[in-house]
Structure 1
């Protein structure tokens, strides 16, 4: 079966040619844990990190990372929920970062930055940022089995991802993605718990769309 999209209300449920956790997941994760990426950093990401790092070094409080933040709705909500924290949202798309959002989401304690997370994660890990919570909300699932290494837990930067944050919180409407991340985290020595998302206020536009379509959203919390 090839990967397709089945209609489900206003959004589409993920259908994959992969029935469960990828058979090569453990092999891929162990390879990346043993051999760290050493590719050069992209200039725009290194510059964005240096600017943000200066702010982090002068901040004495909780730091929350919101990866793949898109238009920044989740970053703004997290900043509103954690007024004493510094919340940093990162996305690779300048268009999404700069999209206008209603003032109801505005707060003074967050930053939205454009950067390639494949580089940004390595820079954050090297600088040992004291991140308390690391959110990865509704990442691209790459549901075709052949694309396993495009998922965060199958990527070369997974060793850095799993090292960032006292807590790592992922959400997805495709439970296999979270089951794979949970298994990858266990290989790296971190336990995770998978639960259903029941919050009334959606954190992201994707979450709102999935919930409105009757899809179940799932959360993995890695301690």
Structure 2
């Protein structure tokens, strides 16, 4: 993660014209992609872990090297914190930290899995996820990449139902604008009582290596938050202010 990070470049200048149609189509359908067997096995291990706790789950999706998961686990020691990433190479860096003398908190569990499949399994199992972190997903910045962005994908309805509190962070304003637009559209379509916000922020303590690099490279950083249903706990509402 050394060096300067380039700003996101795209041939797209605003919210994609096809996004509304895709979101509305997927809200009325079900994600039916077959689940990868290695993800099913990984999910079963994660489920056995969370059952050891009486507290709701914090999910860190696309956790990369697991630093954001570690920071969340330290801040919320009573909650099981699950970090999910598909890259064995990135997750090996989390194991390396432990091997180098930085013991992991007992409330942390890393999972190598296909993220979309993991979300479907968590939704089907009705996991009690009190906070869902989605920090710096791949923006797929080309205009033709809309369907690969989470909010332009059939998985979007599953994603937004996983937890009453979701925070997405990105260094590309169009991604933030689209994510907020998709959340507002879904909230209206589903008749949810929800608070949706988008803002820029400057982290005093970057929560991950990506966030640190983007911040030091002078990128504007954006967060989009969904709060729906019951008011979330004071501690979880302060995740952003402490990161």
TM over 0.5: yes
Query: Which runs of at least 4 in structure 1 moved beyond 6 Å after TM superposition?
Result: none
Residue 196 of structure 1 is matched in structure 2 by: 200
- Aligned match of 1:206 in 203, 206, 210? 210
Aligned pairs for 1:10-159 within 5 A: 10-99=4-93, 100-101=96-97, 103-104=101-102, 106-159=104-157
The count of aligned residue pairs is 215
The alignment yields a C-alpha RMSD, in angstroms, of: 1.5
Unaligned regions of 5+ residues in structure 2, if any?
188-193, 228-243
Superposition deviation, residue 103 in structure 1:
4.6
Displacement after TM superposition at 1:205 (Å): 0.9
Instruction: Tell me the CA shift for residue 202 of structure 1.
Output: 0.7
Partner Cα separation in structure 1 for residue 101 and residue 67 of structure 2: 11
Q: CA deviation at 1:54?
A: 2.2
Q: Does 1:163 align with 2:161?
A: yes
Query: 1:104 offset after TM fit, Å?
Result: 4.9
In structure 2, C-alpha distance between the alignment counterparts of 1:105 and 1:175, rounded to whole Å: 36
**193-202 or 60-69: which moved more?**
193-202
CA–CA separation in structure 1 for the residues paired with 2:80 and 2:102: 18
Give the C-alpha shift of residue 214 in structure 1. Answer: 1.2
Q: TM-score, normalised by structure 1?
A: 0.92
Structure 1 residues not aligned, in runs of 5+:
1-8
Q: Output the CA distance in 2 between the equivalents of 1:64 and 1:27.
A: 31
